[in-house]
Structure 1
């Protein structure tokens, strides 16, 4: 009895094994005959909503899973009579449910596109997206989800959704757009994997590609993607990583008409200039934009976002503050707020918005304000710093503003300690249809002349006492140097007791009396004590005209007049050293006339700003 049952069991097991083997062996035959090319194309079309054309004959693979391998697959819109491809793939591998295939049904479990070309168009929002399909299960699912939410449901019912994306993979793809009738590549080397197996479940996306020569990776995840797709606020996290910049977000986003964002965001870039160039915004060759990182909580909607408790690192200068980003009717963003720094280097910061530090335009467009950030956004920032630097100039207790609006760029230091005194300065560039107008103002009060001269490189003949300097310059030009070459304005300064550095007065008078020209460098080993100094000059078309330059030395007066053109940096000055002693009184007994005043030492100053030469003027004498 027992052996009989064993034999029957072995026969049953053998028959089952044979049946299974026959089923497996027959699967490619059954599938290849029942899942024909047109049926696969129809199912893909029903799923995506695009017209699907398969040029090559499909192949069926059984191991390690049942796959339909398609070649030369084209997806186009049904409404396009020319059937222009939205997606063309050299090869498409579709994972199929085995038991459904035996029943003659097509159930996709995964989709892999090999070397696809995806064509996108620029939308009204500025994004590049493929033309949307006319129908399809995926599109109907999203429409149904939005309808449920609009009808008052807290969230769509996943059980009523007709389709999910499943597992979709792209290998070695590219994204193109039409430019002048030809395809222009946006992304290359695209590899991506999207996984959304159930309408009510979570979804993930990971992708990598080459964009403008840089490798970019993207990772995103949402626990409730159906809510996100239907316009309801839902959790979302994503990160974008590339050599020029990294960006990440973790929070909630709503994609309805009134878009909403609430979460923590981080942005980091080794060079903001490199980011702008990478994204297609060409900066001036000499513009130095610092490394930057920003970490903040972001709360906002489509037209406005607030960055609360923003932590900013600007070229190793840490700061904190609150920022507000708004999008106006012109589409240009408006960034406003306050930032406080412990230390701040103003050079890289200001150069991002004005061509202040640009060199001569001989190098091309260097210093063109069009190539600064002023052409990208409007700005209204209040800055403060306990310590700051502007080039070689140290500042303390800085209070400043940066404003950019409709082509007008303004940087103002309303108050700062410097050189033992106080300075106020402003730079203004105003782009107008007739050209860019620039203006620079400086008021330095109660400063130490020696410290000021050392900081700005004017150590020669600079009064070292306490004084006040005022400079007002304005003129047309795209960059700072072109402005200086055509500027109008005024320069004035007054100084109290101190010295004139870089001048041996006795040696100067001796060499001048000997005749022949000589470089000022030959008599710069010394200093002259003075009771005070005064300068008044006008500037017209880039030429400085010294109306009064005078220093009092005991009973003598040192003076200069003449012109100093900015272009060429030449000198054409006349100077003298004259006695200021009053004439002697007349002798009442003899009736003799007073003695005539001593002769002046007169001279001409030529050469250049950096290498002046002295030439005696004929007829002058010595005191």
Structure 2
């Protein structure tokens, strides 16, 4: 056996000797011709070689070449250094065949942005090439050129690309995009059918810290590149993914776990998603979308349906400052509204927003030419029907905003509490609110607000004051009003409110509260910008008038004007009062002169004004 070893090693030695001697016998021109043919065979187009070419034997026979360039115009590929590793067996017969090609620091430059046509042309060339080899890309780059500027989109790419005779292709490796490593896994088969207009099976997987994406379907190039298949996108923190893409989440909270799965049609003009299942922050909805990219702005159209939506992860809408005592003075920026157009429809069986709940809601969001409309067409809420619309559009200074709210037969405590943070009104009723203004901030808009508010309700209570108890006590002891008048409830059978808003001032023209025991009337003004109150009113204790009774004389004991339908009522006690202070802590003060006049002990003082040096009432 030992005698056979030298004989067996003799061919190997001859091969090594021939390989070592070949570089010295072959001219550089011959090597340049060979490597150009191998690269053209691999890429489907001839290269331009400006650097030297040499042949090396160790660690494996290979042709090493520098300064290579493919393509001209909109798409060019430059390779500073390449190494074509040769297949050993064909080399013994005098033929050069590439086993694999190593590209060091290649750069793909696209002029004027990402154009799909060069990719389509390149894929068709590769599909027609009868090339079986692997390409290894080390530290590659993708660059976009705009005039004289260069934008490095992918600063680093390490990929292994496999081509199998124009039939199958596979790409696997890692790229760095926006500072994050993304793992790439792409496979395509039956590439030859692309030459006849057919569709080739495609599988793509992208995964990294920002997101995971997978596509499984087919793609074709005839008539423009189109991919059709199942698309899956997921992100552990959508807020971070949006920030990574240079986008800002619409709200300060939420936008955590996200996933999307849909049947998709992807093309250079946009995308169509059907049978989509979208999950965000635990909310699941289904529907479809259309994304169009062939206009002046991207356009998103679609509809979603959900069984249950919980909006609590996104926090509460706040238009006040951090302390909550004043309106926000932060400058309104609507520049993002002009970046795209949106037309979305949403329906949900149940929507929760904090303590509020809407049922069977139909809503829409429309954004066109920078003008935004958010609308709730109709929803069941607070045991009634609720509608809302918010219009926002750019203005020469800041923004123009308008809000329209309407509710019919709702529980007033829940509706007023959830919408206006005013929980002092109970009962069932309806209201209409419309207001609009223009300004650079919320505070400026509120300062110039114009609109109206009206409300009517039945069978409820005013929470925080028991007016009947207070009036009954003051009727017996008029000077006992120094105590705390707060606490309890004032039942009513009917309430009516009408108010207008002009330049940020709400004028309460009518607030009438009626029951079988009392009447309350209130009027005045409230500065919405300063959140203060300046109201005057009259509270009356009443009793049913007996048949045949003559109307009592005097303002304090007259028939009640505007009383509820039925028998007239007599006024047994009347008390004027004022309401001052801010919205959060209003102060109710009875008229002291009326109480003094009511007091029997103080009445003689009013009959002798001269004793006090006064012969006429004080102005």
Q: Same fold (TM over 0.5)?
A: yes
For 2:543 and 2:269, locate their aligned partners in 1 and report how far apart those are by CA, in whole Å.
Answer: 74
Contact 1:565 1:571 survives alignment (8 Å): yes
Contact 1:173 1:191 survives alignment (8 Å): yes
Contact 1:369 1:479 survives alignment (8 Å): no
1:500 correspondence with 2:462: yes
For 1:211 and 1:364, locate their aligned partners in 2 and report how far apart those are by CA, in whole Å.
Answer: 34
For 1:232 and 1:358, locate their aligned partners in 2 and report how far apart those are by CA, in whole Å.
Answer: 56
Q: Which runs of 5+ in 1 are unaligned?
A: 1-5, 146-157
For 1:543 and 1:394, locate their aligned partners in 2 and report how far apart those are by CA, in whole Å.
Answer: 31
Q: How far apart are residue 406 of structure 1 and its match?
A: 3.2
For 1:268 and 1:287, locate their aligned partners in 2 and report how far apart those are by CA, in whole Å.
Answer: 19
Partner residue of 1:237? 203
Per-residue CA shift, 1:499-520, capped at 9, x if unaligned?
111224356997996789x9xx
Of the structure 1 ranges 414-423 and 27-36, higher mean CA displacement relative to structure 2 is found in 27-36
Contact 1:284 1:371 survives alignment (8 Å): no
Q: 1:262 aligns with which of 204, 228, 239?
A: 228
Contact 1:327 1:333 survives alignment (8 Å): yes
SS of the equivalent of 2:556 reads coil
Q: Which runs of 5+ in 2 are unaligned?
A: 322-326, 558-572, 599-619
SS of the equivalent of 2:50 reads strand
Q: How far apart are residue 491 of structure 1 and its match?
A: 0.8
For 2:287 and 2:388, locate their aligned partners in 1 and report how far apart those are by CA, in whole Å.
Answer: 24
Partner residue of 1:66? 61
Contact 1:380 1:404 survives alignment (8 Å): no
Q: 1:340 aligns with which of 289, 305, 316?
A: 305
Quickly say closer, same or farther: Cα 1:282–1:322, change in 2 above 3 A.
closer
1:621 correspondence with 2:595: yes
Per-residue CA shift, 1:376-398, capped at 9, x if unaligned?
343142x3222112343111222
Quickly say closer, same or farther: Cα 1:23–1:306, change in 2 above 3 A.
closer
1:22 correspondence with 2:38: no
SS of the equivalent of 1:54 reads coil
Q: Where do 1:424-439 residues align within 5 Å?
A: 424-431=387-394, 436-439=399-402
For 2:73 and 2:453, locate their aligned partners in 1 and report how far apart those are by CA, in whole Å.
Answer: 72
1:446 correspondence with 2:428: no
User: Structure 1 length as normaliser, TM-score?
Assistant: 0.77
Q: CA RMSD in A?
A: 4.3
Q: 1:559 aligns with which of 507, 516, 521?
A: 521
Contact 1:86 1:120 survives alignment (8 Å): no
For 2:251 and 2:578, locate their aligned partners in 1 and report how far apart those are by CA, in whole Å.
Answer: 40
Per-residue CA shift, 1:396-421, capped at 9, x if unaligned?
22223333333333232222211121
Partner residue of 2:583? 609
SS of the equivalent of 2:465 reads coil
Contact 2:329 2:444 survives alignment (8 Å): no
Partner residue of 1:378? 342
Contact 1:528 1:553 survives alignment (8 Å): no
Q: How far apart are residue 29 of structure 1 and its match?
A: 3.1
For 1:86 and 1:52, locate their aligned partners in 2 and report how far apart those are by CA, in whole Å.
Answer: 12
For 1:78 and 1:249, locate their aligned partners in 2 and report how far apart those are by CA, in whole Å.
Answer: 31
Q: 1:475 aligns with which of 437, 457, 469?
A: 437
Partner residue of 1:154? none
Partner residue of 1:489? 451
Quickly say closer, same or farther: Cα 1:257–1:535, change in 2 above 3 A.
same
For 1:454 and 1:427, locate their aligned partners in 2 and report how far apart those are by CA, in whole Å.
Answer: 19
Partner residue of 1:51? 48
Quickly say closer, same or farther: Cα 1:229–1:180, change in 2 above 3 A.
same
1:107 correspondence with 2:97: yes
Partner residue of 2:144? 177
1:223 correspondence with 2:189: yes
Partner residue of 1:571? 533
Per-residue CA shift, 1:447-495, capped at 9, x if unaligned?
1122324434645531x11111111122335776664444321111111
